[in-house]
Amino acid sequence: MKTLLFLFLLIPSLSWGLTFKNGESINVTVDDNYLISKPGILFISPEELKSKIRKSKDLNSVCDEERFASYEDPTFKADKSYRGMQITDKLFEQFNPLFKKYCLLIVNEIKNDQKKYQEIKNEIHNLFIYLAETDYLLNFHKDPDDTDHAYATSITATPLLFVYSQIRNDFDNDNKSKIDQMFINLINKNKYGLNIAVGENSSYGNHGFYNNNIRLLVSILTNNEEMFKKSVSYFFKQMELNQTNNGLFKFDSKRGQCALHYNLHGFSPIMSTIWNLNIQNIKLTNVKINGKHTLDEIVSTLIDSVNDPKIVIKTNKSLGYNKSGIKTCWEAEKIKFGSDEIVLPYTSQIWFAPYYSLTNNKENYEKFSKSSLPKLFKYKGRDDANLVSYFHKFIYLDNEMNFIEFEDTFEKITLDDLEF
């Protein structure tokens, strides 16, 4: 129970303010009881990941699944003409291959193929040093009036952060310091998306979830207690301000036909945050994380909304529309209810793996398996990359949970399935 005390204890804290464009302001309390207990560990320790891969029946097939075979732009020059999704697409193309590169590094280490192991290790190390020395991540255009830059560089950064967390101790102190500072500088550049008046729909919708999640990961990676405390406190403020009567997320539920998509899209960084807080001994599975609903209740409502999108439509109408965000999701399959339309889920739903691993909630397991979501339970290399979905079988799927049988009923991804 001590891990829940941070919600209730009266302990020293500091507050900082947020002011929105409409003049409304709130205070965010930074709780001194939020502590990093396992610095540097993101998602899974290097030793545990290697141990699980070592147990694979066929090492030659472990690293087969990948969206991109090689780096498309080895010079990594930031194009300042790129905006929004152009930045997002480019960074996914460049950073997702790191998952497979690191997988091959582990496999060749296990096989004791020192030549291949050293080649891959040098390639990965040189990439991080190059990125740090050129400030590549910091050179894309940022418009202070919207959160597109913060979103684009946050949603795509997890492959970098994860792989670096796994090999960070292999760098000398000088290079380690440079790479750490690169990530800290990115957080500082993107804090405008959380700390100034860019609008609550961005700061407290899915853009803010991705932005704050990366801040949490960087704080753990660099053992930055102050950044960690701010990120955890901000997460709870995000959850509190997103409270609705049924557990959907307030700001993304205002987004018209895209409301269902964005509720699910924003849940990937939320589960990343909850998973990594759990590693730091901050357990949230039985906590009313928005002040009204537990994680189980929120997931139950999300699945119910997939099965019956009228739940989202009703919530949308009760909250009022964010008119600028009504039709901002990709063109995908829609379903009509009278004059209302809802875009059906089309992105990866890997978030269910860490959720089920943490909760073992059988009721939601059954609801999920009977919904349309299992066909999307696969590595797609987009928002799911924030959950290190390339390695999801090794990070989240415990053989004792009988989860593998559940997954094996899902569609197998092929190159024809991959769309960008």
Instruction: Show me where the domains of the chain are located.
Output: 2-417
Q: Which pLDDT value is given to residue 77?
A: 82
d(CA 127, CA 121): 10
d(CA 398, CA 161): 24
In this prediction the pTM is 0.88
Distances (CA, A) of 105 to 114, 123, 396: 10, 10, 21
Concatenated DSSP letters of 394-412? HHT--GGGTHHHHHHTSPP
Burial of 72 (0-12, 13-18, 19+ CB in 10 A): exposed
Q: Apex CA 39: angle with CA 36 and CA 43, to 5°? A: 100
Q: Apex CA 248: angle with CA 34 and CA 404, to 5°? A: 75
Which superfamily does CATH assign the domain made up of 2-417 to? Chondroitin AC/alginate lyase (1.50.10.100)
Closest CA to 365 of 285, 312, 296: 296
Burial of 282 (0-12, 13-18, 19+ CB in 10 A): buried
- What is the radius of gyration, based on Cα positions, of the chain? 21
Query: Under a CB-based contact definition with an 8 Å cutoff, are residues 349 and 369 in contact?
Result: no
**Total count of residues recorded for the chain:** 420
Q: Which pLDDT value is given to residue 412?
A: 35
Helix (H) or strand (E) holding 303: helix 295-307
Angular region, 157: left φ>0, alpha ψ -120 to 50, beta rest: alpha
Low-confidence ranges of the chain (pLDDT < 70): 1-31, 65-75, 195-200, 322-326, 398-420
Write the CB contacts of 51 (distance below 8 Å, at least 6 apart in sequence). Answer: none
Structure tokens belonging to residue 2: 């001590």
Measured between its terminal Cα atoms, the distance across the chain in Å is 45
Structure tokens belonging to residue 22: 């409409």
Q: Which pLDDT value is given to residue 370?
A: 94
Query: Under a CB-based contact definition with an 8 Å cutoff, are residues 296 and 307 in contact?
Result: no
Angular region, 14: left φ>0, alpha ψ -120 to 50, beta rest: beta
d(CA 171, CA 154): 24
Q: Which pLDDT value is given to residue 183?
A: 98
Query: Under a CB-based contact definition with an 8 Å cutoff, are residues 83 and 148 in contact?
Result: yes
Q: Apex CA 42: angle with CA 248 and CA 224, to 5°? A: 95
Q: Which pLDDT value is given to residue 186?
A: 97
Of all residues in the chain, what percent are helix, strand and coil, respectively (each to 5)? 60, 5, 35
Angular region, 338: left φ>0, alpha ψ -120 to 50, beta rest: left
Closest CA to 353 of 268, 287, 280: 268
Burial of 29 (0-12, 13-18, 19+ CB in 10 A): middle
Q: Which pLDDT value is given to residue 146?
A: 76
Q: Which pLDDT value is given to residue 419?
A: 30
Q: Which pLDDT value is given to residue 11?
A: 38
DSSP 3-state assignment of 255?
coil
H runs (alpha helix) in 137-172: 148-155, 158-167
Structure tokens belonging to residue 243: 């409270």
Q: Which pLDDT value is given to residue 10?
A: 35
